[in-house]
Amino acid sequence: MTTLPPKQTRFDFLPDNFQVQLNRFVTEQITRSWVLTLWLILLTVFTLNVIVNRLQAAPVSTIVVLVVWLVTVALVAVNELRHKHNALSLWLKNNMYNNLTNVQISVLIVLGLIAAVIGFYRYAWVNASFVSVPAADYRAELASVTSDEYCFTMGGVDTAVSPTTIINDPTSRCFPTADLTTDLSGVAVGQAAASFCFDSRPSDPENGITCFASTAENPNFFTVEREFTGANWGAVEANLTTLMIFRFNRNETWRIWAVIILLGVLLVPTMFVYRDSYKNKRGRRLMTILWLASPILIYLFLRGVDPVPFEVDGPGSVISGIWNEMFAWTSPLQELTDAGLITVVNGRPFLRGDGGILSPISFWARLRATFTGNQDLLGIVGLVLFGSLTWLINRRYPPREREGELAIFGRAVLRFLLIVTAVLAIFAVFDVLSMIIGSFSYTRELIVNGQPTAVTQPIFSSIDPDVNWGGFLLTVIITIFAIVVSFPIGLVLALGRRSQVRGIPAWLTYGVALVIAIWGFTQSTPDLIAAARNDIELVLAYWPILVLVLAYAFQRAFNGNVVAAFSTLYIEFVRGVPLITVLFGAKILFPILLPPRTEILDSWRILWAFALFSAAYLAENVRGGLQAIPKGQYEAADSLGFSAYQKYRLIILPQALRVVIPAIVGQFIGLFKDTSLVAIVGLFDVLGVANAIAAQEDWLGVRREPYIFLAVLYFIGSAVMTSYSRYLEKRTGLGER
């Protein structure tokens, strides 16, 4: 017969060595070192302080948190003693209650988070105002006055229609007379310039203190002044369109929608067609062509073309015409307007026609204008000439495997001439295309001299980017342009920096440098020494030495390789200056560096500044990827007879770019955020528009809510790009081998 062990105490779920475990716990967690004990004491005092504070400030939530905390701590402690955790207590033990310090820090953090969340909830929802009428335009009409309350019908005023008509849906709001905070004993309501305030805070958290003030002109309509205790989301709602597209012509927003639809239509098959590289070859080719053609359409939608590309009255000679058209970038619109062919209404050009005002010029007149004495004509003529010559010669003397050197040279020359004239002919094609595109027009209504008039406007009529591109539209345009343009440039720069081509031979470099130095020493230095006014100019007079030093450095560092030298210097220079300097320089220096009276639109300058800036950073990232490829890959490709283009396109770049996808996408996210800098150089991206909104009379000083909205917008954009990066990494198998 076995005797059962004596009945345990009621703590029989605790193990036998409970005392030992407790001692060990105390020694390890509390008394291990006096520093630890001191720290725990201070922390406990602080925690108790905070708890007492929060109990006074927000008793309900604090008690809930405390109860949950104590229960979970007890649960974890008991399970720890039993050596039997369930999932919850195990997670808690490992993540929040690791040691005594963490136990208290956890509860402190939770209390802090609850306080922050409650505060933010009150600010952003409970006390927030969603009225999208600016405070100055919020009007009220006194509907009735009784002994108990004053009732108003409130709404907004469309000042464009009339300064007094309340057009929004009038909501009725009544204030108890008891809440009146001004003394109206001597004032008759409705009397001119009456003003009174109600403390509506308890019953009207949206409006807080509401004061009404009428004016002598409109004694029955009161301007409402509101005090916002919470967020003014109405400001964001009212200005949403402005934030998105700023000054874009509201009549032509269909262009933006067209671009969005175009991109959507192209994106959907892209997700499927590019997935597997071993099938769908024709589909991929089609999609690639469509994507390459899409910038043209997007350009037409967002920028448009001038209806008549070049001047109508041709210049005297073809050659001067060629020269003028190639290197004169003045706006042809001014000349057309001077010639009386275009009229400008509200800043937009419209064609005057043969048949009268505001109708399109006939197709043939414009075609003639396009081809009057400029490089279009030369291009087309040359293309036809050399093209037919090439075809004839190739028919008569087809290329053979062994030919004389003269024949090879002749074919090369012919090919060169063909390419040159083809390039010129491209201008012609562009001109004709833009002229044709300008022929498609539609009729819409414009206000001309105060009268609504029907005008015919080309569908892709030109828009002035400096004025019309703004807000989030500008941000997206800059980002996409910079990403798309900087990628090939950066690639070329990275490849150029690592290029091993044979450089200029040393004898040539030193010879030229020596010649320049000797010329300088004999011709220039004596004059400069004589004219030197201070020590610095004296030193600068010996500039030929600098030429020799530069030649030596060039040979030594780059082995005469001009490509590598140029790429390296460009990258290091652009990476060394801040972006704001580059933008500033682009804005101010561009007009000085180009011939007088040339105009480049501000928007183009900034776009190219971003693209060139980003290209340098991209080049460094790609260079890192190229360095990560083992040399064996290059050697294997060379041994298999790949040409340079094939080697890079098929072997090297796929591996290199895959490795640096995170860095490249990080760079693009940085670019997306850096578009905000154009606010400092005077363009209005979404941040600039937010600042402009806060400067308006209606929304004076309202910055917080637009900034919060912008933060959310940028956050979403960055999150989208980051998730795309992760998708790319997974698809290309980054890190799997």
Contact between 73 and another protein by CB under 8 A: the answer reads no
Contact between 145 and another protein by CB under 8 A: the answer reads no
Contact between 542 and another protein by CB under 8 A: the answer reads no
Single residue of 687, 689, 692, 693 touching another protein by CB under 8 A:
687
Task: Indicate the residue among 285 and 575 with the shorter CB distance to another protein.
Answer: 575
Eight-state DSSP code of residue 146: -
Eight-state DSSP code of residue 278: T
Single residue of 719, 724, 730, 735 touching another protein by CB under 8 A:
719
C-alpha closest to that of 361 among 406, 423, 308 = 308
Minimum distance of another protein from residue 532's CB (angstroms): 9
Single residue of 43, 75, 110, 174 touching another protein by CB under 8 A:
110
Contact between 329 and another protein by CB under 8 A: the answer reads no
Stretch 510-539: interaction string toward another protein, x if CB under 8 A:
---------------------x-x---x--
Burial 650-675 (b: 16+ CB within 10 A, else e): ebbbeebbbbbbbbbbbbbbebbebb
Minimum distance of another protein from residue 24's CB (angstroms): 18
Minimum distance of another protein from residue 454's CB (angstroms): 44
Helix (H) or strand (E) holding 319: helix 318-327
Contact between 591 and another protein by CB under 8 A: the answer reads yes
Task: Indicate the residue among 306 and 674 with the shorter CB distance to another protein.
Answer: 674
Contact between 680 and another protein by CB under 8 A: the answer reads yes
Alpha-carbon distance of 360 to 181, in angstroms, equals 66
Contact between 244 and another protein by CB under 8 A: the answer reads no
C-alpha closest to that of 656 among 626, 632, 634 = 626
Report the DSSP beta bridge partners of residue 151.
144, 174
Q: What is each CA distance from 395 to 384, 386, 422, 577, in whole angstroms?
A: 16, 14, 20, 57
Q: What is each CA distance from 264 to 201, 282, 718, in whole angstroms?
A: 48, 21, 19
Instruction: Supply 101's token pair.
Output: 């310090």
Single residue of 62, 72, 89, 106 touching another protein by CB under 8 A:
106
Residues near another protein (CB under 8 A), total: 68
Contact between 105 and another protein by CB under 8 A: the answer reads yes
Single residue of 594, 640, 650, 700 touching another protein by CB under 8 A:
594
Span 83-102, contacts to another protein by CB under 8 A: 94-96, 98, 102
Strands 138-145 and 221-226, bridge-based pairing: antiparallel
Tell the burial category of 705 from Cβ atoms under 10 Å away from its Cβ (0-12, 13-18, 19+). Answer: buried
Span 486-515, contacts to another protein by CB under 8 A: 501-505, 508
Contact between 10 and another protein by CB under 8 A: the answer reads no
CB 156 within 8 A of CB 138: yes
Give the total residue count for the chain: 737
Minimum distance of another protein from residue 412's CB (angstroms): 7
Q: What is each CA distance from 307 to 36, 138, 289, in whole angstroms?
A: 80, 45, 27
Contacts of 258 (CB under 8 A, 6+ apart): 301
Stretch 650-679: interaction string toward another protein, x if CB under 8 A:
-------------------x---xx-xx-x
Q: What is each CA distance from 628 to 624, 631, 654, in whole angstroms?
A: 6, 9, 12
Task: Indicate the residue among 20 and 712 with the shorter CB distance to another protein.
Answer: 712
Single residue of 316, 576, 630, 733 touching another protein by CB under 8 A:
576
Contact between 380 and another protein by CB under 8 A: the answer reads no
Binding residues for another protein (CB under 8 A): 94-96, 98, 102, 105-106, 109-110, 113, 401-402, 405, 408-409, 412, 501-505, 508, 531, 533, 537, 560-563, 566, 572-573, 575-581, 584-585, 588-589, 591-596, 669, 673-674, 676-677, 679-680, 687, 691, 694, 703-704, 707, 710-711, 714-715, 718-719
